[in-house]
Chains A and B, each alone.
Chain A
Amino acid sequence: MEIQLRLYGSSKILSDKDALKIELPNNSNIEKLRDILFKIISEKHPKSNLENLPKTAAFFSEKNEVVNDNYKLKDKESISIIPPIGGG
């Protein structure tokens, strides 16, 4: 299955576009997404300083709510990655 990861803050280093399409095994959850993201960063962006991102990021569902690691992803779902925040 495939999800669309909407990029914010430092995660924008991962693509020139606002979102990244990510292939995942069926029935994957957020924990699996973290693993895949770690692989993508290690293989494609090794010098990006984003190695901690899969561990420190939160993820928002389409309802703009934080979802936990057990949250089951659906095919074509749009998920936002929320790197550590720092406005003001």
Chain B
Amino acid sequence: MTLHIALVKIGEEKISSEKAKKFIASEKNGAESIFVGKVRNENDGKKVTAVTYDAHDQAVIKSFQAICNAAKDKFDKNAKIFLEHAKGYASVGEISILIAVGSGHRDEAFKICRYILEEVKNQSPIWKKEHYADGKEEWLPGHSLRPMKEVK
């Protein structure tokens, strides 16, 4: 198996970099690239305490598959890819996304990692609500999936 994708419900499971490293390990690969995204304590001058991630589960999994397969086609068909994203309430410091790639060479490993991250942001129906220290909360603006030709 060369691909692992999942939406991880916080509180029920944990995103683990050890699990990711084990998954991508292979003697055929000369490079491993791992990206870990975490909830940070500040955004736009506001003190953030946590983020709630909402997701359209089925469409997210479908998009993850398409993105990872496209990355393999584009950069390295034999790459091993691990991709998990959090769903639910994540406190500051918790992992929101983990991408791990095992590939023959460093260039492909870096490129696949970066490609997957940007495409998840562009394609996967996931939303963030930030919770602030003053008790307020806010859904963050994002990238519209409405076909551009329809926007008047």
A46 contacts B by Cβ under 8 Å: no
Whether the Cβ atoms of B59 and A64 lie closer than 8 Å is: yes
Give how many A-B residue pairs fall within 8 Å (CB-CB). 90
Are A87 and B97 also in contact (CB < 8 A) when A10-B139, A60-B56, A60-B59 are?
yes
Whether the Cβ atoms of A88 and B96 lie closer than 8 Å is: yes
Complex contacts, B105 vs chain A, CB 8 Å: none
User: Which chain A residue lies CB-closest to B141?
Assistant: A84
Q: Which of B20-28, B73-81, B117-125 contacts A (4 or more CB under 8 A)?
A: B117-125
Count, chain B residues at interface, CB 8 A: 33
Whether the Cβ atoms of B85 and A87 lie closer than 8 Å is: yes
Chain B nearest Cβ from A12, distance in angstroms: 7
Interface residue tally of chain A, by bracket?
A: 20 to 34
Whether the Cβ atoms of A84 and B58 lie closer than 8 Å is: no
B132 contacts A by Cβ under 8 Å: no
B142 contacts A by Cβ under 8 Å: yes
B13 contacts A by Cβ under 8 Å: no
B residues lining the A interface (CB < 8 Å): 37, 53-56, 58-60, 62, 85, 96-97, 117, 120-121, 123-129, 139-147, 150-151
Instruction: Give 18 new A-B contacts, CB below 8 A, not counting A58-B146, A87-B53, A88-B117.
Output: A8-B54, A8-B56, A8-B125, A9-B54, A9-B127, A9-B142, A10-B139, A13-B139, A56-B144, A84-B143, A85-B123, A85-B126, A86-B121, A86-B127, A86-B141, A86-B143, A87-B60, A88-B37
